[in-house]
Structure 1
Amino acid sequence: MTGTPARAAPSAGARARWRRGGTPSLPPLPPLLRLLIGTQLAFNIGFFAVLPFLAEHLGTAVGMAGWLVGLVLGLRTFSQQGLFVVGGALADRYGVRPVVLAGCALRIAGFAWLGWAESTWAVIGAVLLIGFAAALFSPAVESEVARQAVCWEEGGGGPRTRVLALFTVAGQAGAFVGPLLGALLLAVDFRTVCLAGAAVFVLVLAGHLRLLPQHIPGRAAAPAPGGARALLRDRRFLALCLAYGVYLLAYNQLYLALPLEVERAAGSQAPLAWLFALSSALVVTAQLPVTRWATARLDLRRSMAAGLLLISAGFAAVAATRPAAWTGGAALLPSAGLVVLLTLGQMLLAPAARAWVPDLAGEGRLGLYTGALSSVSGLVVLAGSALTGSLLEAGLPAAVPWLVLTALPAAAVALLPRHGPVRP
């Protein structure tokens, strides 16, 4: 595990408790973990208060053409996801605190700039700043959560996947609350929404200035340069990235293939809001029980494999019914099945993938590897989304695109490293 001199084996009693699925009263999380998990909640509240309303604002208030709106949104994604590896490497080199604080400051400036931006170049500059801010603080926070989760596990507190599942729940709760806050403030204007998002990050910045340690005990400094070359030669890690990228590509179909299917079945995309709410509710209510079940029965590789197979089954449900071309309320059942199975697959897969990274990262390289997991898998999504979009528009038989989407997660099981760590 990166950042600790040696691994302390969990006690036999702790191993037995985890295999039984845990105890009603696990030890409380240490203050640093509570701070970082709360950070994820606040990050997503501030971010999702603004993001869902950005495209409409750019198209109506700013008057951008549709292609330009798409370009701006794509640039934001690239400046964030594509540069995670940079933020992770900086966290390894300079520590978590300065990188998180810098990211918060840039996000505040970006949201404030976006609120007043009226020209195309001003909007592009603001969204690039907003994206790069996340590329700084997100991998720093995620890598430290993973490191602290391993320390908590090694101290007998409980499986690391429980901590990472709680981190996921906090993020999903923020993604649920943020749009509600933004919708309320949009009654004033979009500038107010942006200022509210900036205000959230002002609070986060102030909290971290006070509470985030300057030097986190046990965190190793990055070794000499060369980590990127070692990462690119690490076949096990790259295989994990590719498998995780296929999962993200499948998840991206909630925004690409699913809306098309919902509009075909229902005549509009109005039911999408309910399907997204269903996904959020599942994560918030079921993530921790699902993780507890998986921890007691599956190692990390099997948990990821089971998640991929559930996602594949979700696409298969749509593929099986698509040739019948049903319409109406009942025709939405396959789409609902896809959302449920994809979300359950996510709950098994995402915590396991992030729990695996500390075992693959070299000493002092956890930030780099955490960022690379997002950046490499983001490239998979970028390439795969273009191909998926082409399939959906190619005029093929109705079931063909969905069969391809069914096959991809199932095939990705073979990409998972064969000799991953086994849960103790």
Structure 2
Amino acid sequence: MIRERKRALAGVVGGILLANTGSYIWFPVLVATLGGTDSGFWAGVVMCMTYVGRLLATFSYEGIAARLGIRGAVLLGTGLEAVALGLMGFAGGVFSYGVLAFFIGFGSGTSFPGLKNVLVSFPEDERPKAFSAFQMAGQVGLFGGALLGAVLAHVDLRTLFSVVFAFFAGFCVITSALIPRDGFARAPERPDVRVPLFSPAAFKGIDVRGATRYFLLSAAFWFLSLGYVVGIPLHMAEYVSGWAPSSPFWITGLSILVLQYPLFKLVSTRLSPGAVMAVGLAGMTVAFIAFGAGRTAPWVVVGCLTVVLGEILFVPSFDLWIAGRVPEERLARAMGAMHFFRSAGNMVGSLAAGILFDLSRSLDVPGGNWYVAAVLAAGCALICLSGRKSGTAADARRTDGANATENEEKVGENV
């Protein structure tokens, strides 16, 4: 069994490595291309469609996995993603790109949870190491994909997407060969229960009681994060055309690989989660100001080295923040809410990045899109600081208890 889990881990880690490598080859190039031939708005629309697909896959994954098994769900999602990416090279026009982007996102939203499910089915003492390897492989794929994207930046899109298709075809092969059909979890106690193929139950699990502003803060962070992901290739094509559109991503990818663990450990042991999040957002604020004010290659490097503070510090600290402020009995629903607000931030952030880029050019305010992002990031940092010592899980329990008592009194009065 240990040998089988090692094989499965190799399949999961190898799969996410190939997937991230392929993803970071194509999307910076396509965003920059659409920004030049159409507009930033349409580039944002195409990227937004991938997140629409991922969000809708949330409502279908359980039904697909119940019918095909975890491995089958991963294979279906990866195959759909590979075919859609292969067709991208032969497509023309934003409508075709948008439709294919939706299927890319739906495939990703089906395969990615399947990979996570395999790791979750590992024995509890093996999960931390497995998830650490998973995260590291993703970052290595990001870095490698951005480097390859820079090499392939000037080839035609048909050749580019053929290379990407090869990576995702490899993803299909390695996962289907190495991961078990249903992971390593026990069989369900009621196998006769039919899971619907599409279910909106994920919406029912969203619970934001006592943590509304925190989830809105999460949505704002992912809005900013996608603003960078979509905005920086457009920025490179407009102001730093001598560099490949994917160049900022290999700088950020390498920075995260080197700094993720030591920097988070250093800061988190000295500051509260709210303060750590504020530092991450402050780094993003500095980065956006650098992108807007400088608009040259050296300033892009400065921005890339500081924007990573958001990924390094905000994301893990937010999980800790929520865990400390939401009662244990509501944590599972809180995690579902986190996914929903993240998806919402991703979708709106993709669209807004293209719109703000176009608007800054039409108003002749170079870098204006980044100034808007900087103001939002600074505001979010202040919110983190203002709430860093309030709203603990114990407070939430007391609030729930007080509300319950109040409701009982009202019922007694009505009787």
Instruction: Indicate the TM-score class for this superposition, using the shorter chain for normalisation.
Output: 0.5 to 0.7
User: Which of 1, 5, 8 is the matching residue for 1:32?
Assistant: 8
1:39-50 equivalent positions in 2, closer than 5 A: 39-50=15-26
Q: Partner residue of 1:376?
A: 341
Question: For 2:89, what is the secondary structure of its paired residue?
Answer: helix
Q: Residues 109-158 of structure 1, C-alpha deviation per residue, up to 9 Å, x if partnerless?
A: 1122222224655444322222221121123324544x25xx66x42x58
Does the alignment pair 1:342 with 2:307?
yes
Aligned residue type for 1:47: S
Q: Give the number of aligned pairs.
A: 369
CA distance in 2, matches of 1:127, 1:338: 28
Partners in 2 of 1:78 and 1:186 — Cα distance? 26
Instruction: Report if the CA contact (8 A) 2:78-2:172 is conserved.
Output: yes
Equivalent residue for 1:228? 202
Aligned to 1:408: 380
1:211, distance to aligned residue in structure 2 (A)? 1.2
d(CA) in 1 for partners of 2:42, 2:288: 33
* Corresponding residue SS for 1:116: coil
Closer, same or farther: CA 407–184 of 1 in aligned 2, 3 Å: closer
CA contact (8 A) 1:102 1:133 kept: yes
Q: What is the 5 A alignment of 1:147-296? A: 147=120, 154-155=124-125, 160=128, 164-185=131-152, 189-218=156-185, 227-228=201-202, 230-235=204-209, 241-255=215-229, 268=240, 275-290=248-263
Matched, 1:135 2:143: no
Identity of aligned residues (%): 20
Equivalent residue letter for 1:380: G
Counterpart amino acid of 2:24?
Answer: F
Q: Show the counterpart of 2:27.
A: 51
Preserved CA contact (<8 Å) 1:59 1:65: yes
**CA distance in structure 2 between the partners assigned to 1:115 and 1:178 by the alignment:** 17
| TM superposition score normalised by structure 2 | 0.67
Please, which moves more after superposition, 176-185 or 199-208?
176-185
Whole-Å Cα distance in 2 between the matches of residues 48 and 55 of structure 1? 11
Paired AA for residue 411 in structure 1? I
Q: Identify the residue that residue 4 of structure 1 maps to in structure 2.
A: none
Partner of 1:419: 393
In structure 2, runs of 5+ residues without a counterpart are: 395-415
- Distance in 2 (CA, whole Å) between partners of 1:269 and 1:399 is 21
The structural deviation recorded for 1:44 is: 0.9
User: What displacement does 1:101 show?
Assistant: 0.9
Higher relative contact order (CA 8 A, sep 6+): 1
Unmatched runs of 5 consecutive residues or more in structure 1: 1-28
**1:14-64: per-residue Cα shift (whole Å, max 9, x none)?**
xxxxxxxxxxxxxxx95434432332111111222222222455578xx65
Residue matched to 1:76: 50
* CA distance in structure 2 between the partners assigned to 1:33 and 1:402 by the alignment: 40
TM-score (norm 1): 0.66
Calculate the aligned-residue CA RMSD, in Å: 4.9
1 or 2, which has the higher helix percentage? 2
Corresponding residue for 1:105? Answer: 79
Of stretches 71-80 and 200-209 in structure 1, the one that deviates more from structure 2 is: 71-80
Partner Cα separation in structure 2 for residue 50 and residue 336 of structure 1: 21
Paired letter, 1:406: A
Distance 1:255 1:361, change over 3 A: same
1:178 CA drift (Å): 1.9
Q: Is the 2:287–2:307 contact (alpha carbons within 8 Å) kept by the matching residues of 1?
A: no
